[in-house]
Structure 1
Amino acid sequence: MSKMGIAPIVVAIVDDDGAVRRALRRLVLSLSYQSVGYASGEEFLASLLDMVPSCVILDQHMPNLNGLDVLGRMRSEGLAMPVIIITGLDQPGMRAKCIKAGAAAYLVKPLESSVLSTVIEAAIAG
């Protein structure tokens, strides 16, 4: 907790690509948010027992559980924090599927910092 008693905003970054995770963490830190990175959907879902982030940036294309799988599990467990799905491979209909499943936004890599910051702020504001 900060001196004001306001919990810090923590953005979880879930991407199997370490370089993408590091770049996104730098970007999130530059926006004055805290960040925590996860290499897989399973690792992220397990972490939710200990810490619930303010917002999640979730890669769609990962081995085992993809972004939609992770989002589906979160929603089925009643976890309502905003999720931004990111992808390097935009497929027809995927944006609509992700939004219908409850994603706050769907962005295609490479991500522009100004776009991502706007989307994170909007997602956290509700």
Structure 2
Amino acid sequence: MPRASQGYVVTKTSKIAVVDDDGSMRDALSALVRSIGMAVASYASADAFVAAQGFDDADCIITDVQMPGMSGIELLEFIRRRRLATPVIVITAYPSAALQARAMAAGNASFMGKPFDGNDMVNRIEQVLAQP
């Protein structure tokens, strides 16, 4: 059943991709997404996400910035070069104005510093999915 929240409806068919090299963060985000009735696919790296072509069926991507190999910002830039409009939520333990500016220039939907509140993440997911 669709869930109404702040004037928009999120369906259970939404699929969220979680890309983070930290297993505990990846597991926590995946559990959070499942707790609101959405499907989730998790990846231990941006390289694994790209190799699996996870971007083909993701309705939203949550990615950490600092990971071995391709960074979350590089992943965002890769997605935009492919002309995909999939919303991306960039998370980082080291937020800075410069990093946020780079993420926004690449066209992401949201930028969050760690740690963050689970309710804030749910709100961000719902907001970016509601955007046309």
The residue aligned with 1:124 is 129
8 Å CA contact 2:49–2:55 kept in 1: the answer is no
* TM-score, scaled relative to structure 1: 0.89
* TM-score, scaled relative to structure 2: 0.85
Whether 1:37 aligns to 2:42 is yes
Secondary structure of the structure 1 residue equivalent to 2:77: helix
Structure 1 runs of 4+ aligned residues shifted over 6 Å read none
Q: Distance in 2 between matches of 1:92 and 1:50?
A: 27
What CA RMSD, in Å, does the superposition of the two structures yield over aligned residues?
1.7
The residue aligned with 1:3 is none
Q: Distance in 1 between matches of 2:24 and 2:54?
A: 26
Extract unaligned runs of 5+ from structure 1.
Answer: 1-5
8 Å CA contact 2:12–2:38 kept in 1: the answer is no
Letter in 2 for 1:30: S
Letter in 2 for 1:93: A
8 Å CA contact 2:65–2:71 kept in 1: the answer is yes
Q: Distance in 2 between matches of 1:21 and 1:92?
A: 25
Return the match for 2:116 from 79, 88, 111: 111
Extract unaligned runs of 5+ from structure 2.
Answer: 1-10
Give the count of matched residue pairs.
Answer: 121
Give percent identity, aligned residues only. Answer: 34
Q: Distance in 2 between matches of 1:22 and 1:111?
A: 15
Secondary structure of the structure 1 residue equivalent to 2:119: helix
